[in-house]
A and B are shown apart, each in its own frame.
Chain A
């Protein structure tokens, strides 16, 4: 594609290891083990390639990136490459000493996840006892050091009532920004739709609370909101279009157009062990599969919004219709829309479904004998 522009952002999944086991984890069901992870030098080289390609923003993610002992060195390498460096963390694994080292390495910004606003809720959802207490301690150190902070509250049927408190906490912590993200159903979350699907009433209430908070906290707290999309009539935009603004690198060096792209079975992904980032971005089969609008069929093909939302989410079209080039069923023009809405109602009405936690495979915890 000749009109492909350089990417702006790269998400580096440094590891799939994580002390938590959130039931909506966006990591793939098949987790990469520690011995397959790229080493420090390999990542440093990838950061330089990314900057040369035009990437400006780097998100260090996981799993839990703090599970990497070389996180400080990775941040330093990213800053050396000239990238704006953001750490996406649960806080677990960060000590005051490590945070000071990250500060010295030039870390630009921290995004701290919030599983709940009480220890009971947060530790149940994260599947990690004591996690909430530790996170609050980490938040305090972040404030003392002065890192710019975004709080990332992930919300679903079990904790949506805690949204008002999450907003207060963001202000108390001195965060400039909060992401209020209703769970998106990819990866592990697909197994937990009965347990996590918000009700339509909850979804509407969340939207109302966010709008009120945006007015009340103008100039204090920036609120980015991801609504519950199964209950919506308008699909979420797929980035700025598939393969147009960002890319993902997995712990072992596969380059993906987005974190969920591996759920589309016919796509093939290139590895940075074999090809350069530039080649993969411009020529990789997975990147070109849904670039632009050529791949679309009706109703998207003849729709005025096709360059706005790009037909919605490819991974969701795959998960819900079995066809990744279908219109995202969230869209009211989709022939599958009515079925999705009743499915959403049914998921939301299922009482007391147990949480299915993410596996610990590849984690720091002892791996059970197989």
Chain B
């Protein structure tokens, strides 16, 4: 069982999981196999920055600047959300994928 996502980890949305603007209800959702997750502002802000290249620290630092909010706060606010996505396999971490391929 994994804990919270660490700052140096690089999150990536795996194939089959994507952001979608819900034009009927408003707002953004994450579409995944058999699941639709409604996103709040922080969730949407983070996931729209996830590109499989930048680490969680880099992403949250950029958001801290853009929204003029403390980075620690953003990390804290999003930890549970990111962990839940990860345990459902809606979010993965790049370094680990590489490790799996290597073994």
What is the chain B residue whose CB lies nearest that of A6? B24
Question: Are B24 and A52 closer than 8 Å at their CB atoms?
Answer: yes
Question: Are A57 and B89 closer than 8 Å at their CB atoms?
Answer: no
Contact of A86 among B17, B18, B24, B34 (CB under 8 A): B34
Question: Are B89 and A218 closer than 8 Å at their CB atoms?
Answer: no
Contact of B33 among A6, A52, A86, A218 (CB under 8 A): A86
A148: CB under 8 A from chain B? yes
Cβ of A187 to closest chain B Cβ, rounded Å = 21
Question: Are A8 and B33 closer than 8 Å at their CB atoms?
Answer: no
How many contacts between A and B, using CB within 8 angstroms?
58
Contact of A218 among B1, B22, B36 (CB under 8 A): B1
A43-78 vs B, CB cutoff 8 Å, 1 = contact: the mask equals 000000000111011000000000000000000000
Q: Report the interface size for chain B: residues with CB under 8 A from the other chain.
A: 20
Cβ of A361 to closest chain B Cβ, rounded Å = 30
Q: Which bucket holds chain A's interface residue count?
A: 20 to 34
Cβ of A3 to closest chain B Cβ, rounded Å = 14
Q: How far is the CA of A234 from the CA of B62 in the complex (A)?
A: 49
Q: How far is the CA of A88 from the CA of B16 in the complex (A)?
A: 15
Q: How far is the CA of A176 from the CA of B35 in the complex (A)?
A: 13
Q: Could you say which residues of chain A place their CB within 8 Å of the CB of B33?
A: 86, 108-109, 111, 148, 150, 176-177
Question: Are A219 and B24 closer than 8 Å at their CB atoms?
Answer: no
A127: CB under 8 A from chain B? no
Contact of B89 among A146, A147, A177 (CB under 8 A): A177
Cβ of A83 to closest chain B Cβ, rounded Å = 9
A82: CB under 8 A from chain B? yes
Q: How far is the CA of A6 from the CA of B17 in the complex (A)?
A: 22
Q: Could you say which residues of chain A place their CB within 8 Å of the CB of B25?
A: 6, 54
Q: Could you say which residues of chain A place their CB within 8 Å of the CB of B22?
A: 54, 56
Question: Are A219 and B86 closer than 8 Å at their CB atoms?
Answer: yes
Q: Other CB < 8 Å A-B pairs besides A6-B25, A54-B24, A219-B2, 15 of them?
A: A6-B24, A54-B25, A56-B22, A56-B31, A56-B36, A82-B20, A84-B20, A86-B34, A108-B16, A108-B31, A148-B15, A176-B14, A218-B1, A219-B89, A222-B88
- Residues of chain A touching chain B, judged by Cβ–Cβ distance below 8 Å, are 6, 8, 52-54, 56-57, 82, 84, 86, 108-109, 111, 146-148, 150, 176-177, 218-219, 222, 224
Instruction: Show 27 A/B contacts (Cβ-Cβ < 8 Å), sorted by A.
Output: A54-B22, A54-B24, A54-B25, A56-B29, A56-B36, A84-B20, A86-B34, A108-B16, A108-B18, A109-B34, A147-B15, A147-B16, A148-B15, A148-B16, A148-B17, A150-B33, A150-B34, A176-B14, A176-B89, A177-B33, A177-B34, A218-B1, A218-B87, A219-B87, A219-B89, A222-B88, A224-B34
